[in-house]
Amino acid sequence: MTQQISFILDGRVHQLGFEPGSPYTPITTVLQYLRSLPNHKGVKEGCAEGDCGACTVVLAEPSADGKLNYKAVNSCLLFLPKLHGKQLITVENLQDAQGTLHPVQQYVADSNGAQCGFCTPGIVMSLFGHYKTDLSAEREEIEDTLSGNLCRCTGYQPIFDAALKALDERKEDRFSQEEQDVAAQLKTISQSGVRIETTTHYYSFPASLQEAFTEMEAHPGALLLSGATDVALKVTKQHQQLPEIIDLSLVPELKKIETTGDMLRIGGGVSVNEVLEAAQKPFPALYKIAKRFGSKQIRHLATVGGNLAGASPIGDLTPVLMALKARVRVMRAKEQRTMALDDFITGYRQTALQEGELLTHIEIPFLSEQIKIGAYKISKRRDLDIATVSAAFRLEFGAGKQISEANLVYGGMAAMTKHARQAEDFLQGKEWNRTHAEAAARLIRDEFEPISDARSGADFRRIVAGNLLIRFWADDAGTK
Ligand SMILES: Cc1cc2nc3c(=O)[nH]c(=O)nc-3n(C[C@H](O)[C@H](O)[C@H](O)COP(=O)(O)OP(=O)(O)OC[C@H]3O[C@@H](n4cnc5c(N)ncnc54)[C@H](O)[C@@H]3O)c2cc1C
Ligand code: FES
Ligand code: FES
């Protein structure tokens, strides 16, 4: 265990301790750290809650093939210890020693895409993150990349033009030439876990599941965190101190995706972007919802475990995973238990997790041809918005045309993700046609008593909840 964190910035390994007198604590964000340095003022603070993208930086970390994975992330949501073992790249690092701009910067400048100094550095970093992956240069893909970068002035067109040109001509840049050296340097940084103890904070990075349980036993009151996209807001918005943190993001057992005979098993620490990739073929409804989750920057950090353990009534993954009959595996030191996700969520932001337990895996059974699944998210904006209402449906058919089991799961309609039980009972044994979909929709409108809030009135929620079932029928064209 080490007391310091080590990371690469500006081409060299930095070691940062948190001893008394240090201006930084383990809950200082990377944004605050960068803004405190004389030569990294390009990174900006807009919202400090992951919504504007002005603070976007890129993190590079070694992958299994010896190369580096580059991910654009919101530095306002990253606690400093999360830099351990990674390369931090900011907009100041993109040009080379001779002052030649990176192709992404050059095209943004040439296409008049540099519209204001506040958003442009973050936009450039998101595009740089895209440039450094094998994502396509299609407009849709670029839109997705920019979904976490707000521009409210003259619009995105010049930025898209710049992105299309830069990505069309993608070639080796100086980061590719330096990649092996950087990867080798990063490998020399100890991955054996970090434990930082200051007079005010305790922050540990267990390097295995066993170590995580030892830490949890020694610090029963500590807050667990994975991507910290929920937890960071406790610091940036509520100014909480979070004196004890156990960060699970370096636990390898939680980061695996495995296919067994009849299910996909996803580690609790797998990011939403990785879930998206894994779900595309076997679970298109999960893919569709994961694609609408936050922004690319958020999805790089946010994990499936954090989403379910947070038990938000508007969490995006819960309804669709419930419709997929996902099971949750939770573990404490030597014991483990598995339960239906339906039983895991017990109330408003409450779960069945007991003290000393953590969520280790989600298990999603593969679907048979007798099952139809659909999932929908209604929000005020398509990108980077939380759901006003979400719904996920599962219809199982027996040998005939009748529905043998219906699961209709809603988010945003109650204090927790909830089934529309009356409509489920009504559909059982019925044919799947418009008449029955409309009758079930009426029951759904009557069954829930949603709240009115800034996002919508209760009536809108009720109406849309029913209509989504009819939409599911229409999308399916009523055929089995
Ligand atoms: C700008 C922005 C946009 C967002 N958009 C969306 C969206 O579109 N849809 C959506 O659903 N959510 C959204 N969120 C919320 C958040 O990103 C998700 O809930 C995310 O999945 C949380 O995962 P995390 O790894 O960041 O969790 P963390 O913040 O690390 O943790 C969240 C909670 O889960 C607990 N926890 C984490 N991992 C485990 C584990 N393995 N075992 C037990 N407990 C654990 C933590 O103790 C904490 O209570 C958004 C957040 C932001 C800031
Ligand atoms: S400051 Fe707005 S996303 Fe970080
Ligand atoms: S680039 Fe800043 S508002 Fe458009």
**Over residues 399-406, mean pLDDT:** 92
Give ligand 2 pocket residues (Cβ under 6 A).
Answer: 45-48, 50-55, 74, 76
Residues 408 and 281 in one domain: yes
Q: Which of 90, 230, 72, 79 is nearest to 147 (CA)?
A: 72
Residues in CB range of 96: below 8 A, 6 or more apart: 102, 174
What's the CATH code of the domain at 448?
Answer: 3.30.465.10
For residues 314 and 431, membership in a common domain is answered with yes
* 137-144 own/partner pairs: CB under 8 Å, 24+ apart: 137/163, 137/164, 137/167, 137/168, 137/170, 139/164, 142/167, 143/383, 144/291, 144/296
What is the residue range of 325's domain?
Answer: 256-476
Both 305 and 421 in a single domain?
yes
Closest ligand to C-alpha of residue 43 is 2
pLDDT for position 66: 82
Residue 332 domain flag: yes
Q: 264 has which bridge partners? A: 259, 364
Burial grade of 329 (CB within 10 A; 0-12, 13-18, 19 or more)? middle
- Any domain includes 431: yes
Do 338 and 468 fall into the same domain?
yes
At residue 3, the pLDDT reads: 83
The last residue of a domain, from among 152, 187, 222: 187
Q: How far apart are CA 7 and CA 14, in angstroms?
A: 5
Band of pLDDT at residue 478, cut at 50, 70 and 90: low
Q: What is the pTM of this model?
A: 0.96
Read off the pLDDT band of 284 (50, 70, 90): very high
Q: Is 157 in the pocket of ligand 3 (CB under 6 A)?
A: no
Does the residue 150 lie in any domain? no
The reported pLDDT for the residue numbered 188 is 87
Distance, CA of 430 to CA of 244 (rounded, Å)? 53
Domain presence at residue 265: yes
Q: For residue 177, is pLDDT > 60?
A: yes
Which single residue is written with the structure tokens 């930025």?
159
CA-55 nearest atom, ligand 2: 4
Residue matched to tokens 């699970």? 248
Averaged pLDDT for residues 254-276: 97
At 48, give phi and psi (nearest 5°): 60, 25
DSSP assignment of 301-320 equals H-BHHHHHHHT-TT-SHHHH
Ligand nearest to the CA of 223: 1
Query: Are residues 365 and 472 both part of a single domain?
Result: yes
The mean per-residue pLDDT over the stretch 409-413 comes to: 98
d(CA 342, CA 327): 8
Find the 310 Cα to ligand 2 centroid distance in Å. 21
Closest Cα to atom 13 of ligand 1: 294
Domain identity same for 325 and 405: yes
- Answer whether residue 152 shows pLDDT above 90: no
Q: Which of 150, 209, 225 to probe ligand 1 with, by most ligand atoms within 8 A of CB? A: 225
Q: Is 116 in the pocket of ligand 3 (CB under 6 A)?
A: yes
In a domain, residue 365? The reply is yes
CA 336 – ligand 3 centroid, Å: 50
Angle between helices 120-131 and 157-168 (to 10 degrees): 30
Query: Residue 89 pLDDT more than 90?
Result: yes
Cα–ligand 3 centroid distance for 255 (angstroms): 36
Check if the beta carbon of residue 342 is closer than 8 Å to that of residue 322: yes
Q: For residue range 102-135, list pLDDT tens digits in order.
A: 999 999 999 999 888 899 999 999 999 999 998 8
The minimum-distance atom of ligand 3 relative to the CA of 117 is 2
CA 126 to CA 52: how far, in whole Å? 12
What's the CA-to-centroid distance between 117 and ligand 3, angstroms? Answer: 8
**The one-letter amino acid at 434:** R
pLDDT at site 1: 56
| pLDDT score for 479 | 47
pLDDT at 480: 41
Tokens found for residue 258: 């495995």
User: What is the pairing mode between strands 327-332 and 358-365?
Assistant: antiparallel
CA distance 176 to 326: 40
3-class DSSP state of 86: coil
Asked if residues 168 and 104 have their Cβ atoms less than 8 Å apart, the reply is no
Least distant ligand from the CA of 344: 1
pLDDT at 190 over 90: no
Domain edge (last residue) among 139, 165, 187:
187
Out of 187, 221, 240, a domain closes at 187
Find out whether 156 and 123 touch, Cβ atoms under 8 Å: no
Which pLDDT does position 414 carry in this prediction? Answer: 97
pLDDT for position 193 = 72
In the chain, the number of structural domains is: 2
What number does the ligand 3 atom closest to the CA of 155 have? 4
Whether 325 has a pLDDT exceeding 60, the answer reads yes
pLDDT at 56: 98
Q: Is residue 21 part of a domain?
A: yes
CA-closest residue to ligand 3 atom 4: 151
Ligand 2 centroid–CA 51 distance in Å is 6
Helices (H), 56-119: 103-110
**Ligand 3: which of 91, 149, 153, 160 to mutate, most ligand atoms within 8 Å of CB?**
153
Residues 181 and 314 in one domain: no
187 Cβ inside 6 Å of ligand 3 = no
Please state the rounded mean pLDDT for residues 45-66: 94
Average pLDDT value for the chain: 95
Q: State whether residue 42 is helix, strand or coil.
A: coil
Q: Is 288 left (phi over 0), alpha (psi -120 to 50) or beta?
A: alpha
105 lines ligand 3 (CB under 6 A): no
Q: 153 pLDDT band (50/70/90 cuts)?
A: confident
The domain that holds 47 is classified in CATH as 3.10.20.30
Closest residue by Cα to atom 37, ligand 1, is 306
Cα 424–chain centre separation: 30
State in Å: Cα 46 to ligand 3 middle: 12
12-19 average pLDDT score: 93
Lookup result for tokens 């449906």:
393
Ligand 3 pocket, residue 151 CB under 6 Å: yes
Whether residue 168 is contained in a domain is answered as no
The encoded tokens of residue 466 equal 């029913």
**Tell me: the pLDDT tens digits for 79-88?**
999 999 999 9
Between strands 403-411 and 389-397, the pairing is antiparallel
Enumerate the H helices of 201-324 as residue ranges.
209-218, 232-236, 272-279, 284-291, 296-301, 304-310, 317-323
Residue nearest to atom 43 of ligand 1 (CA): 358
Band of the pLDDT at 2, cuts 50, 70, 90? Answer: low
Cβ of 118 below 6 Å from ligand 3: yes
User: Where residue 31 falls among pLDDT bands split at 50, 70, 90?
Assistant: very high
Coil vs helix vs strand at 8: strand
Which residues are near ligand 1 (CB < 6 Å)?
49-51, 223-231, 248, 268, 293-294, 298, 301-303, 305-307, 309-310, 315-316, 353, 358-359, 386
Specify the pLDDT at position 334. Answer: 86
Residue 317 lies in a domain: yes
As a whole number of angstroms, the distance between CA 27 and CA 187 comes to 25
Q: Do 181 and 323 reside in the same domain of the chain? A: no
Ligand 3 centroid to residue 122 C-alpha, Å: 10
Q: Are 312 and 440 in the same domain?
A: yes
Regarding whether 357 and 453 lie in a shared domain, the answer is yes
Q: Residues 56, 75: contact at Cβ < 8 Å?
A: yes
User: What sections of 327-407 are H helices per DSSP?
Assistant: 341-344
Are 314 and 420 members of one domain?
yes
Ligand nearest to the CA of 149: 2
Per DSSP, the three-state class of 28 is: coil
* Both structure tokens of 341: 């996700």
> For residue range 199-258, what is the model confidence (pLDDT) as tens digits?
999 999 999 999 999 999 999 999 999 999 999 999 999 999 999 999 999 999 999 999
Query: 428 and 285, same structural domain?
Result: yes
Q: How many CB atoms lie within 10 A of CB 269?
A: 25
Closest atom of ligand 3 to CA, residue 151: 4
> What pLDDT, on the 0 to 100 scale, is given for residue 65?
83
